[in-house]
Amino acid sequence: MSKHPIATYLFVWSCDLIALTVVLLSLFSMPHYSSETWIDFAIWATIMCVARLGVIPLFGLNINAGVATAFEFAAILVLPFPLYCLTILMSSLIIVLKRVYEKHPEPFLGPDFNAANLILSAMVASQTYVFLEGMLSGAVFGPTLAVLPTALVYEGVQVVLLTILLSIDQQMPWRKVGSLDADALINDGIMVIAGAIIGRIYHVEPELLLLMLLPLLFLHKTLERMNKAKLAYIDGKTGLFNYRHLDEQLNELVSKASSNQPLSLIFGDMDHLRDINNTYGHPTGDKALLVVANSFASTTRSGAVAARFGGEEFVLLLPGTSKFRAAEIAEQVRSTVEQTAVTLENGEPLNLTISLGVASYPDDAHSVEELVKAADEAVYAAKHTGRNKVCIYGRRDNMPETDIPDPLLQQP
C-alpha cells in the first residue's frame, strides 16, 4: 500500500536516474589516480560510512546526520568527484542494508534520495570549486576564498531539492514545509562551514583531522540542544507552536494590549475529526490536522502567532487587531479549510470544515483566562448553530454591521 503520493516516487526516481547517470559518466571518464589519492579515498570512505551510518558513540555523543553533513562537504574538497560518488554509494548501501535488517517498510526510499541529493549537490559544488580555484589561483588564499561560495552552492542545491520533495510529499506550499526554517538553515550552514575547515586542514595536515573530531562533535551537540530547546515549543504533529508557547505569548501580549492596540484571539475547532479518525484512520486524521494547521499558519499579519491548543483545537493570536478585522481573518481561515480537501487512499477527496470563535482584549475580557473563555464560548456558539462558521463573542446589537459581512455576525 502506497504511503506517499505517486508524485513523490516520480520525483525521487527522477533524481535517482539523473544522479546515476552522473555517477556512470564520471566513472567511465575517471583518470588514473596516484596511490596517495586512493589512500585518501580509503580514509574518507571509512569516515563517510561511519558518519552517515551514525552507529559509533564517542564520549557519550552519537555521530549522526548533523556531523555527517560536515564530512560530506569536506570530502568534496578532498576527493576527486568520481571517488566522492563511490563513497556516497558505499555508505548508502550500508544504510540500506541496515534498514533491511531492521525490517524497515521502505528501506530504499530515503537513502536513495539522500544519495542522489548529495551527488547532484556535490557535482554542482565541485564544478564551482574548480572554477573559482582556477580563477583565484593567483590570489592570496585563493583556494580558501573559493570555499565559501562553494559551500553556499552546495547547501543551496540540497535545500532546493529537499524542499521540492517535501512540498510534493506533504502536498503543501514549499514555503511551509520546514526545510527553509531559519534555524535549520543556520545549523546546516554551520556544519557545512565546519566541513570546509576540515577539508582545508586535511589538505595541509591530515593528522590534524583527529583534533577536529571532538570540537566538531561538541559543536553539533550544542546545536542539537538549541534545537531541542526550540522543539519544546513546537507541536510535533503540525509544526505550529504548542500550548506552552501559546500560554507564554498570551500573557506577554495581554500585558501589552490596550484599547488602542487590542489583542484579538481566534479559536478554531475542527468539525468531525473523531469521525474522520474512526472512519478513515488516524493517518488521514493527521493529514486533516495539517490542512488546518497550514490554514492557521498562512496568515501574513505581522506578529501573528499560530498554535495548536490541543487535539483538534487551534488558536491564532493577533496583536494590534480589532475584533472585526480578526473575524475577517477567521473567515479566510474557514474558507481555506473548506476549499482544501484531503485525498483518501482511493483517490477520493475528503472535504473538511472548521468552526471558529473570535474575542478581543480588552473589549471582551480583563484577563488571559477571560479572553480564552470568551473565544471558547464563541466557538461553542458556532458548533451549536450549524458548524463551519465564524462567531464573534458579544451581542449582535453591539457590533456595527458595516464593519464586517453579515454571515460572520452570530450571537453566541
- Using CA atoms, how far apart are residues 398 and 28, in angstroms rounded to an integer? 79
Collapse the DSSP code of 121 into the 3-class scheme (helix H, G, I; strand E, B; otherwise coil) and give the result: helix
- Using CA atoms, how far apart are residues 205 and 208, in angstroms rounded to an integer? 6
What is the total residue count of the chain? Answer: 412
- Using CA atoms, how far apart are residues 21 and 342, in angstroms rounded to an integer? 36
101 with 174, same domain? yes
What CATH number does the domain containing 353 carry?
A: 3.30.70.270
Identify which of 139, 130, 143, 127 has the alpha carbon closest to the alpha carbon of residue 203: 143
357 with 386, same domain? yes
In a domain, 354, yes or no: yes
In a domain, 249, yes or no: yes
In a domain, 236, yes or no: no
| pTM of the full structure | 0.58
| Cα within 13 Å of Cα(71), Cβ side | 29
In a domain, 294, yes or no: yes
DSSP 393: S
269 with 202, same domain? no
In a domain, 204, yes or no: yes
221 with 369, same domain? no
In a domain, 237, yes or no: no
What CATH number does the domain containing 107 carry?
A: 1.10.1760
Angle at which helix 111-135 crosses helix 142-170, to 10 degrees, equals 150
288 with 366, same domain? yes
In a domain, 238, yes or no: no
In this structure, the number of other CB atoms found within 10 A of the CB of residue 348 comes to 9
The three grid cell numbers given for residue 56, joined into one nine-digit string: 559509533
In the chain, the number of structural domains is 2
- Cell 493517518 locates to 283
What is the helix (H) or strand (E) element at residue 355, kind and residue range?
A: strand 354-361
Identify which of 298, 325, 322 has the alpha carbon closest to the alpha carbon of residue 405: 325
- Using CA atoms, how far apart are residues 91 and 55, in angstroms rounded to an integer? 12
Cis status, amide bond into 206, omega within 30 of 0: no
Last residue of a domain, one of 191, 207, 231: 231
In a domain, 70, yes or no: yes
Collapse the DSSP code of 354 into the 3-class scheme (helix H, G, I; strand E, B; otherwise coil) and give the result: strand
207 with 253, same domain? no
**Burial of 293 from C-beta contacts in 10 A (0-12 / 13-18 / 19+):** buried
289 with 186, same domain? no
Segments forming the whole domain that contains residue 340: 243-408
> Side by side, which strands form the sheet with 313-319?
305-310, 313-319, 263-270, 354-361, 390-392
Q: What is the pLDDT along the chain (412 residues), one digit of tens a residue?
A: 346 788 888 999 999 999 999 999 999 988 899 999 999 999 889 888 887 876 554 444 445 556 778 888 989 989 999 999 999 999 999 888 888 887 777 778 888 899 999 999 999 999 998 888 888 776 666 667 888 889 899 989 999 998 898 888 877 777 766 677 776 677 778 778 888 888 888 877 776 666 666 666 666 566 555 554 445 567 778 888 888 778 888 888 888 887 788 999 999 999 999 899 899 888 888 889 988 998 898 876 778 889 998 889 999 999 999 998 999 999 999 999 999 888 888 888 899 999 999 999 999 998 888 999 999 999 999 998 889 999 999 845 333 333 434 444 443 3
Last residue of a domain, one of 231, 251, 283: 231
